[in-house]
A and B are shown apart, each in its own frame.
Chain A
Amino acid sequence: QVQLQESGPGLVKPSQTLSLTCTVSGGSISSGSYYWSWIRQPAGKGLEWIGRIYTSGSTNYNPSLKSRVTISVDTSKNQFSLKLSSVTAADTAVYYCASLAAGLETFDYWGQGTLVTVSS
């Protein structure tokens, strides 16, 4: 069974870049069965899709965040990463990595989530 685990700083200063990594275990990130995705959830609010990357490196981003987001993949480490630049307090949220099943378009597997707080 595929497992995902987020890692990265829990506190980021305003205007800096948020960086998170998701490590995939129990399966190969190169399998082609999934799009590897980032989703966030501010406290008490709903789920917001940030973007996704395919094993080929092709990416899709939420238009509202596109100018600040970069998602990359490192197949040698079975990891994919998120960078969100110029953060503000509005970017404070629990960040999840998840696998989107190609074809079914469902988020089958999720990381446990990591809280990132933007504060000076």
Chain B
Amino acid sequence: DIQMTQSPSTLSASVGDRVTITCRASQSISSWLAWYQQKPGKAPKLLIYKASSLESGVPSRFSGSGSGTEFTLTISSLQPDDFATYYCQHQETFGQGTKVEIK
């Protein structure tokens, strides 16, 4: 089975910061990676699919990159609404999550 590993587990940042989250796959998954945002008490929301494609309605400050085994989610200028937990996903496997906290 393919394992997905995210880093860091927790990230402290300020409004306006550029934030990068990394997801590594245990073997090559080409570009078959998605990113989700989850806020407390809510279901996850799809942000990025096929590693770098922005889901409709998602702000352009979110971007994804990578292929093979290493992927990144970048928030170019962190907004108050972005403090949440982020998950990467390949097929049936999710990363363990990265919580973005207020610094």
A residues apposed to B, CB below 8 Å: 46-49, 52, 60, 62-63, 96, 98, 104-108, 110-113
Contacts and interface: CB of A to CB of B under 8 A. Distances in A.
A62 B91 CA distance: 12
B92 A49 contact: yes
B91 A105 contact: yes
A46 B44 contact: no
> Chain B interface: which size bin?
20 to 34
A104 B93 CA distance: 14
Contacts, number: 44
Contact of A113 (B43, B96, B97): B43
Contacts of B94: 46-49
Contacts of A96: 43
A96 B38 CA distance: 13
